[in-house]
Amino acid sequence: MDKKEAQKIIGETKDVYNQIAEKYASVRDEAWSEMDFLFGKFLKSGDKVLDLGCGNGRFYDSFVKNGVFYLGIDNSENLINIARKNHSEGEFVLASALNLPFNDEEFDAVYGIAILHHIPSEDLRNLFVKEAKRVLKKDGYLILTVWDLKEKREQEKSNKKFNIFNLFRQRIDNDDIFIPWYGAQDCYFYTFTMETFKRIVEDSGLTIIEHGEILVGKKPYRNFYIVAKNKIKK
């Protein structure tokens, strides 16, 4: 994807979440219990943890019940304000996951729950993982989830309106889709397979120690997850 177009989409996605913040926060106000194992299994008391794309802080309790020091970031001003209101005892920072305002090797664990599929272009997705690795301590964990959007992608690709819309987009990648999102139009998503998900993590030099699928909700919705470790080279 063209770099200019990728940056444009980053700005549009931020605008979408600012626009829908109140509605989004009211609907997604609780953590997904199906993901509980990603917290207790890989955290210990006293760990310093970074939550990338924390949104309204919906996973805050899942983190702090493990006795960790929590820090959440998001690039949506409105979502950060909601997170601060809902969890006044927490620390929430307005920042981009592509340019983290933290020192190298500062965190014991870095989480990115349902955020990486909002990052356009292979270059920026690689940058996302590399920035997460940069602030991760040696032997620390990077834990990522993305949605399995294959079915949605096939539906959208057969939609005449979708194809006409994309004529006005420059250098859209084959696995990119734009779908309505909580009342906003045309929010960007990248369609991962498990293979492409694993490759982007492995290419950063991290070691994958666990991966799989998580089924969430009544439908249910499929999610891919990866747990990777920043192993010390011997």
Mean pLDDT, the chain, whole residue set: 91
More confident call, 112 vs 164: 112
What is residue 220's predicted lDDT score, i.e. its pLDDT?
A: 83
What local confidence, expressed as pLDDT, does residue 233 receive? Answer: 66
Closest CA to 81 of 92, 72, 70, 71: 92
Write down the pLDDT at residue 173.
74
Query: What domains appear along the chain, each with residue ranges and CATH number?
Result: 3-229 (3.40.50.150)
Tens digits of per-residue pLDDT, 117-164? 999 999 999 999 999 999 999 999 999 999 999 887 777 666 655 555
Assess whether pLDDT exceeds 80 at residue 182.
yes
How far is residue 175 from each of residues 148, 151, 168, measured CA to CA in Å? 12, 12, 17
Q: What is the pLDDT of residue 159?
A: 64
The token duo for 53 is 């794309």
The C-alpha atoms of residue 170 and residue 166 are separated, in whole angstroms, by 8
Which DSSP helix (H) or strand (E) runs through 23? helix 3-27
